[in-house]
């Protein structure tokens, strides 16, 4: 399910500003070097736009922003609250470790028990075992690269892709962490899409 998340007014302003800047940079690069030689600049620009759509704080701007300035983060908090209250276990994937840190801080404010995994996590098995076995641990925050393969997280029945990836196979592989071969459990998958 694609869940459309309305950007906040402040976030829309940041996004529009980044869009103008990226457009000018990319068009200048394409004009100067051609489309084929500008692909890295195009991808870098798209990444910056994805970050702005997630949370203005990812942009490293001098202005101070808070949780309420991210439409996606507010939507995620609401979704997680409903899921945890309903006894569901949730996997939350993001490409951006810095975004996971912001989500982590928001969950702590909300009093939600969670586990966390990114590329720097050394005790992966302990984190997985706690999420799998502890009924009070309702959320597992996972970086897309660290959690895309090799994890068995079948306690989860809900998967959230905070910043949908442009390669659907990567998302599917991450979502598959909640499935076990031969298991008939239904898993709900949400993609948070900024608008």
Which residue pairs from 119-128 have beta carbons closer than 8 angstroms and sit at least 24 positions apart in sequence? Answer: 119/143, 119/145, 119/146, 121/146, 124/151, 128/152, 128/153
Q: Is the pLDDT reported for residue 182 higher than 60?
A: no
Range name among 22-36, 81-95, 155-169 with the lowest pLDDT average:
155-169
Can you read off the two tokens belonging to residue 169? 């196979």
Largest CA distance in the chain: 57
Q: Is the pTM of this model over 0.85?
A: yes
Q: What is the mean pLDDT of the chain?
A: 90
Q: What is the pLDDT of residue 137?
A: 96
Helices and strands of the chain, counted as H and E runs = 7, 6
Can you read off the two tokens belonging to residue 186? 């239904």
Rg (the chain; Cα; Å): 18
DSSP 76: H
Question: Residue 20 class from Cβ within 10 Å (0-12 exposed, 13-18 middle, 19+ buried)?
Answer: exposed
Residue 3: strand, helix, or coil: strand
List the one residue out of 104, 191, 96 whose CA is nearest residue 144.
96
| pLDDT over 70 percentage in the chain | 94
User: What length does the chain have?
Assistant: 195
């Amino acid at each position: 399910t694609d869940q459309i998340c309305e950007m906040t007014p402040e976030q829309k302003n940041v996004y529009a500003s980044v869009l103008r800047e990226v457009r000018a940079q990319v068009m200048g690069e394409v004009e100067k070097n051609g489309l084929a030689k500008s692909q890295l600049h195009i991808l870098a620009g798209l990444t910056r736009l994805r970050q702005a759509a997630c949370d203005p704080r990812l942009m490293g701007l001098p202005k101070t922003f808070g949780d309420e300035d991210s439409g996606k983060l507010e939507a995620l908090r609401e979704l997680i609250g409903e899921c945890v209250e309903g006894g569901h276990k949730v996997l939350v994937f993001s490409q951006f470790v810095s975004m996971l840190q912001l989500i982590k801080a928001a969950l702590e404010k909300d009093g939600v028990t969670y586990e966390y995994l990114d590329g720097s996590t050394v005790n992966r098995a302990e984190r997985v075992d706690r999420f799998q076995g502890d009924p009070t641990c309702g959320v597992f925050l996972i970086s897309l690269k660290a959690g895309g393969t090799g994890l068995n997280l079948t306690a989860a029945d809900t998967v959230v892709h905070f910043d949908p990836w442009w390669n659907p196979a990567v998302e599917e592989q991450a979502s598959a962490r909640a499935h076990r071969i031969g298991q008939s459990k239904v898993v709900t998958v949400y993609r948070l899409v900024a608008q």
